[in-house]
Amino acid sequence: MHSTPPISLGIDFGGTSVKIAAVRGAELLGDIVRIPTRDYPQPDDLLGAICDAVARMREQHPGLAAIGIGVPGAVDFDRGVTYNLTNVPGWSNVPLRDRISSRTGLPTVLENDANCAAYAEFKCGAARGFRNVVVVTLGTGVGGGLILNGDLYRGSQYAAGEIGQVSVDYRGVDGPYGNFGALERYIGNQQIAELGARRLREAGREVADDNCSPESLAQAAAAGDEVAQGVWDEVAVLLGTALTSIVYLLNPDAIVIGGGVAHAGDVLFAPLKERMRSMLSFEFYEALRILPAEFGNTAGIIGGAALAAETAGF
Q: Which residues contact a second copy (rule: CB under 8 A)?
A: 74, 83, 131-132, 146, 148-149, 153-163, 165-171, 175-181, 237-238, 241-242, 244-246, 248-253, 278-281, 283-284, 287
Query: Residue 254 CB, nearest distance to a second copy (Å)?
Result: 9
Minimum distance of a second copy from residue 34's CB (angstroms): 31
Report the nearest approach of a second copy to the CB of residue 130 (Å): 8
203 vs 287 by CB, closer to a second copy: 287
DSSP notation for 10-74: EEEE-SSEEEEEEEETTEEEEEEEEEEGGG--SHHHHHHHHHHHHHHHHHH-TT---EEEEESS-
Contact present, 299 and 264 (Cβ < 8 Å): no
Q: What angle do CA 273, 189, 34 make, to 5 degrees?
A: 110
H or E element that contains 277:
helix 266-279
Q: For a second copy, which is the closer residue by CB, 51 or 237? A: 237
Judge whether 107 and 308 are in contact, CB under 8 Å.
yes
**Which of residues 21 and 136 has its CB atom nearest to a second copy in the complex?**
136
Which of 19, 275 has the CB closer to a second copy? 275
Please report, in angstroms and rounded to a whole number, the separation of the first and last CA atoms in the chain: 7
Q: How far is the CB of 133 from a second copy (least distance, A)?
A: 9
- Of 208 and 287, nearer to a second copy (C-beta) is 287
Q: How many CB atoms lie within 10 A of CB 210?
A: 8
> Least distance in Å: CB of 138 to a second copy?
16
Q: Work out whether strand 75-76 and strand 7-13 pair parallel, antiparallel, or are unpaired.
A: unpaired
